[in-house]
Amino acid sequence: MLLGEKKGYAGMAFYLFVLAAMTALLLPALLKAGARKEELRLPVLLYHSVTEAETGEYAVTAETLEDDLKALAERGYETVSLAQLMDFVDGKGSLPEKPILLTFDDGAPGFAQNALPVLQKYGMKAVLSVVGGFSSGEMTETEAMDAQTLRELCLYEGIELQSHSFSLHLYGQRHGARRLEGESEADYRALLERDIWAMEVWAKREGLRLLPGFAYPYGQVEPGAEAILKENGFRATMNSEPYVNLLERDPESLYQLGRLNRAGSLTTEEVLDWVEEGYAKESR
C-alpha cells in the first residue's frame, strides 16, 4: 500500500472516530429536545351544576357556559377526551396544539337540559364525574342524574364517564376520600377498595362504561390513595387545585391533574386569563 493511501485511510478513520464521538455527545441532547416537543399544557375546567338562572360557588348558567365555550373556541382551544389523553401518554395518537379538558362533577341533573345542547353547538367534549351513590338513589344528600339518563348521554359523541367515588362524597367525620386520623393503612385500603368495587358493580349492572379516571370528592386528595387507585387500574386522578398541567408521553403525567373550579362568581374573561396564563408560565 502506498504511503499516501495509508494517510488517506488514517484520515478517514480519524474523521469517523470524531463523528462517532460527536454523535454520542449530541444524541442525548437531541433526543431530549425531541421529547420536549411532546410536552403539552393541559388546562382542566371543573364545572358542577349548569342551570337556567341560578349561580353560586358550584353553579353557572347555561348562558355563562356558552360564553366560556365560545371564548375558548375563538382563541383556538380544542376540547379533548379522557380516552385521547390516555392514548397520548401511552405514545399513541396526537393532541391538538391547544387542548383543554372539560369536567362536570357530581352528575347534577341539569346537565342534559342545560349543558349538553351548548356542548353540541360548539362541538365540544366533556367528562362527567359520577357519584354512584347519588345516581343509584342509595344516597339522598344530593340530587343527581340516574343511570338511564347517564346511559342516554353516553350515546352522544364526546361524552365520557369517570368515577367520583360510590359513597365517599360526604363531608362529615371523613372529608371525602381522606384517611381518618388514627385509621390504619390496612383499614383505609379496605375502605377505598370496597368503594371502588361498589362503583364497578353498580356501573356494570346499569350498563355504564366508566373510564379509569378518579376525581377526588371535594378535591380532598389522600396521598395514600394514589397507589391504591393505580393498583386497581386507574389511569388518571384529578384534584381541585387550580394549576395547569404538563402532559408528556408518560402515563404518570395523568395523575394529580389540577382543575379550576368554574364558580359562578368568575367572569369568562377571568377563566380565559387563567387558561392563558397557564400556557405562558411553568406548570407543575
Distances (CA, A) of 191 to 54, 176, 198: 36, 12, 11
pLDDT of residue 27: 53
Cα gap 211→87, rounded to integer Å:
12
Q: Is 166 helix (H, G, I), strand (E, B) or coil?
A: coil
Q: 63: pLDDT confidence band, cut at 50, 70 and 90?
A: very high
Average pLDDT value for residue range 280-284: 60
Average pLDDT value for residue range 223-248: 97
pLDDT of residue 69: 98
Cα gap 98→181, rounded to integer Å:
42
Cα dihedral across residues 68, 98, 257, 272: positive or negative: negative
Q: What is the mean pLDDT of the chain?
A: 90
Show the 3-state SS of 88-144: HHCCCCCCCCCEEEEEEECCCCCHHHHHHHHHHHCCCCEEEEECHHHHHCCCCCCCC
Question: Per-residue pLDDT tens for 151-186?
Answer: 999 999 999 999 999 999 998 889 999 999 999 999
Q: Is 115 exposed, middle or buried (0-12, 13-18, 19+ CB in 10 A)?
A: buried
pLDDT of residue 35: 43
Cα gap 271→77, rounded to integer Å:
13
Cα gap 258→263, rounded to integer Å:
15
Cell output for 252 = 404518570
Q: What share of the chain is helix, strand, coil (3-state, %, to 5)?
A: 45, 20, 35
Task: Tally helices (H) and strands (E) across the chain.
Answer: 9, 12
Q: Are 245 and 283 in contact (CB under 8 A)?
A: yes
Percent of the chain whose predicted confidence (pLDDT) is above 70: 86
Distances (CA, A) of 16 to 1, 3, 4, 30: 21, 20, 18, 20
**33 has a pLDDT exceeding 80:** no
Which residues, in sequence order, are CB contacts of 93 under 8 Å at separation 6+?
Answer: 84, 87
Question: How is residue 215 annotated by DSSP?
Answer: E
Cα gap 144→134, rounded to integer Å:
6
Which has the minimum average pLDDT: 10-24, 115-129, 221-235? 10-24
Question: Per-residue pLDDT tens for 93-141?
Answer: 999 999 999 999 999 999 999 999 999 999 999 999 999 999 999 998 8
This prediction has a pTM of 0.86
DSSP bridge partners of 101: 44
pLDDT of residue 36: 46
Question: Per-residue pLDDT tens for 87-97?
Answer: 999 999 999 99
Cα gap 154→128, rounded to integer Å:
10
